[in-house]
Every structure is written in structure tokens, then in C-alpha cells.
Amino acid sequence: MVRLLLILPSATYRAPDFMAAARELGVAVTVASDRAAAMSAAMGERALTLRSSNPEVAAEAIVARAGDTPFAAIVGVDDQGVMAAALAAERLGLAHNPPLAVARTRDKAAMRQALADSNVPQPRFVLLPAGGDVPAATSETGLPCVIKPLSLSGSRGVIRADNPRQAEAAAKRVRAIMAAAGEPADAPLLFESYLPGVEVAVEGLLHSGRLQLLAIFDKPDPLEGPYFEETLYVTPSRLADAAKAEIERITARAATALGLREGPIHAELRVDGQNVSVLELAARSIGGLCSRALRFGVGVSLEQLILRHALGLDADDLRRESMASGVMMIPIPRSGTLIEVAGQEQARGVPGIGGLEITIAPGRPVVALPEGDRYLGFLFARGLTAETVEVSLREAHACLRVTIEPQAEPTPGPR
């Protein structure tokens, strides 16, 4: 039987959907994870423990396992696994992205430079080393600007500053977030010019460097800062056909500039009139449970498309379903301890709502952006038009009543 290696970080939301896709394709699976034993016990699959923080070592472990259990394909599901997947697939002669290209997607500075070298539209940017001159950086990017860590994802540590004083405070806060995430204390920060306009997300699949556009998601909620918490994704896009064509063209140029050639990509772009600029591009598909908003052909999931491509199987129909669809990533309003999410049944009863998943259990800590990197859960909707999908998601979200116990303030010590 054909065997597939799935690199699934233990914290991923996406394991069940990829495992289901493999079962539907009749493919045997080896699960690779930083806690593979626990995943194996839960899923009844063979497992391989990897050090996802060290892609070279992880790739060596995959190649060693392949000596006993040959793999037909290797798929890194989330950001943490894409480098190991590329390195191992290259050594085993399997379809893959060049490791250098994948490395560029994992380092925002390297991505910016590669896009700049190919004249792909993007924000102005400058790297600020530890102890660097913040006002000088803002003078190069202009104000307002956006300050980011180089390697975190999901809008974690991304802060807008409108003046030099805010930029100083934001840089200090971003460094604290990096330290909490285990990032090097002396890593540089990325300063970017803030781009006006609306934001969209693109799902695509690369075939020998050619982009197959799968979906463009509108993001109806404005993402203007100071933090950039994503909420609504709705497809098909309501932008004009000319804008959508330009989005596809610029996304393809960005993938080429980075050197990507095979497999899924997820891109974030800003659209301001006729101008389309690249914010991010990842060598993986959309995160969280958001892929459940997508169906292709006669009910084929995004995960099935990705696995079919990796295994070299034909995909009969890559057209997205005719119904409009969308997802809301339910935001965490403040940090603390989650007590309750009430109103769930009422939310599920809103016309057009197809599902609600609360992914954090009561009693667990929750952390709001920009320090946080998770959501309370996901709402899903389908409808005849993008407008009705957006209305359904907003109505369902309004039904939810989130109770969070604030974090206790530290007790002052004796003076």
C-alpha cells in the first residue's frame, strides 16, 4: 500500500482533517510529530518522533525511517514542518519545494529581500538590529509603520505604530513577545510601511511552478491595527474581476520570486484600488480549521487536493463549489482564564451556519493578541452569496457570550 508521511505538530488543529483525507484516498499514513507517541495512541497510526525545532535533524530521522518504510510523499502540514518536509523529500527524490525557497517563507526578512529582488509589490521595509535606532527605522519606512518579529505567525507580535513614541513602545513589546516564544534575544525586528486598503487571502496549489488558484477570501473586517486580529474570511471575493486577476498575477509572481514550485501556498495581500501588494506567503495551506470553509468539485476537501497532488494523483476538478462560504476565527477579547462560551446552540441555529467548534476548554488560559497565537474557535457558514454568508457569521458570533476571568494582578511586595 502507498504510504504517506504527514508532519503534524502536536499543537496543530489540522490533524483530524488530514487523517480523514488520507483514509478517503486509501493511503497508509505515518504520523511525524514532536509528540508522535501521543498522536499515535489517539489515531492508531504508526508514528515518528521529530525535533521540529531542528529541521536538519528531523529530515535525517525521516530518511532513516524511509529505509525501512518507503514513503511516496511527505507533507508538512503547518509552518513548523515545512522545512523538514522539503529537506527530507529532496534527499529521498520525492516531489518537493527547494529547501532554500521554503526557508525564505519562514524568515520574513529573507522573504522581503527575495520579493524586492524580483520587484514584487510589497511594503517598504528595514531590519532593525537589537539596540538599533527606532526613529531612524521609521524614517526609512515612513509612518504609520508595522513592526514584526521575523519568524512568528498568526499575527502574533505584529503591531502598528503611528509615531516614533509608539514605535519605541511597540518594538519593546515585540521583543518581549519574542522572548516568551523562545526566539533569540538579539534577533532583528522587521519594520514595514503600513499599506492602506482591504486585505485578502489566497489559497493556491503549485504544479511545477505554475499556480493553480483555488480561492480568494475577502476579509470584511478592517485590519488597520494597532493589532491585526483576523476574524472573517468569505469567498468568493466580491472584488472586481480586474482586481482578482491582479491578485492572482501578483501571487504567482511572489511564489516564483521565492523559488517555490510544488504544493499548497497561502498568501496574504493588500488591495488599494489598482495596487496589489504582498504581505505574506507561506509554503502551506490555510491554518486553523479554516480549510473546512472550502469544498471543490463534488465535495472534495482542500486536504484531499493537497494529498492527491503530493502523491501524483489526478485531481479531476479543482473548481470551488458554487455556494458561497466563509469562516470566522472567533477572537479572544482579553487575556485571562476562559470560564464559559454561552449561546453556542443559539449560534448553531442561525440560518446558514454549518458548524461551530470551540477549541479551548473552560478553565484554560487564553491570551489575546498581540501576545496570543490562538483563537477561541471557528464558525462556518454557507449561502447563496458572500453577503448572506457574512451576515450569518456575524449573527452567530453575536449570539456567543464569552466569560473570561481576568488575570490576577501581582501582589506588591514590601517596601
If asked whether residues 134 and 187 sit together in one domain, one would say: yes
Sign of dihedral through CA atoms 249, 251, 253, 255?
Answer: negative
Q: Beta-strand (E) ranges in 273-400?
A: 275-282, 324-330, 336-342, 353-358, 365-366, 377-383
Q: Residue 201 and residue 411: Cα distance in Å, rounded?
A: 44
Side-chain-side CA neighbours of residue 318 (13 Å): 18
CATH number at residue 45: 3.40.50.20
DSSP assignment of 234-286: EES--S-HHHHHHHHHHHHHHHHHHT--SEEEEEEEEEETTEEEEEEEESS--
Question: pTM to 2 decimals?
Answer: 0.94
Answer with the one of 193, 221, 250 that is the final residue of a domain.
193
Residues 342 and 392 in one domain: yes
Q: Assess whether 7 and 89 both reside in one domain.
A: yes
Q: What is the pLDDT along the chain (415 residues), one digit of tens a residue?
A: 899 999 998 778 889 999 999 999 999 999 999 875 445 444 444 789 988 789 999 999 999 999 999 999 999 999 989 999 999 999 999 999 999 999 999 999 999 999 999 999 999 999 999 999 999 999 999 999 999 999 888 899 999 999 999 999 999 999 999 999 999 878 999 999 999 999 999 999 999 999 999 999 999 999 999 999 999 999 999 999 999 999 999 999 999 999 999 999 999 999 999 999 999 999 999 999 999 999 998 889 999 999 999 999 977 667 899 999 999 999 999 999 999 999 999 999 999 999 999 999 999 999 999 999 899 999 999 999 999 999 999 999 999 999 999 976 554 544 4
Measured distance CA(60)–CA(62) in Å, rounded: 5
What CATH number is associated with residue 330?
3.30.470.20
Cβ neighbours of residue 224 under 8 Å, at least 6 residues apart? 160
Let me know if residue 319 belongs to a domain: no
Task: Tell me which residue of 343, 315, 338 sits closest to 403, measured CA to CA.
Answer: 338
Q: Is residue 156 part of a domain?
A: yes
In a domain, 173, yes or no: yes
Dist CA 298 CA 259 (whole Å):
32
Strands 232-235 and 189-193: unpaired
CB of 9 closer than 8 Å to CB of 52: yes
The single residue listed with the C-alpha cell 471557528 is: 378
Number of domains observed in the structure of the chain: 3
Inter-CA distances, 392 with 232, 343, 379, 400, Å: 11, 15, 10, 13
Joined together, the cell numbers standing for residue 286 give 490555510
Q: pLDDT digits over 53-81, tens only? A: 899 999 999 999 999 999 999 999 999 89
CATH number at residue 165: 3.30.1490.20
Q: Where are the alpha helices (DSSP H) in 29-149?
A: 36-43, 55-68, 79-92, 99-105, 108-117, 134-141
Task: Give the domain range for residue 78.
Answer: 3-97
Q: Which of 168, 193, 218 is the last residue of a domain?
A: 193
68 lies in the same domain as 128: no
Residue that terminates a domain, selected from 161, 193, 225 = 193
Geometric angle at alpha carbon 182, from 180 and 185, rounded to 5°: 90
- Whether the bond into 365 is cis, omega within 30 of 0: no
Is residue 106 in a domain? no
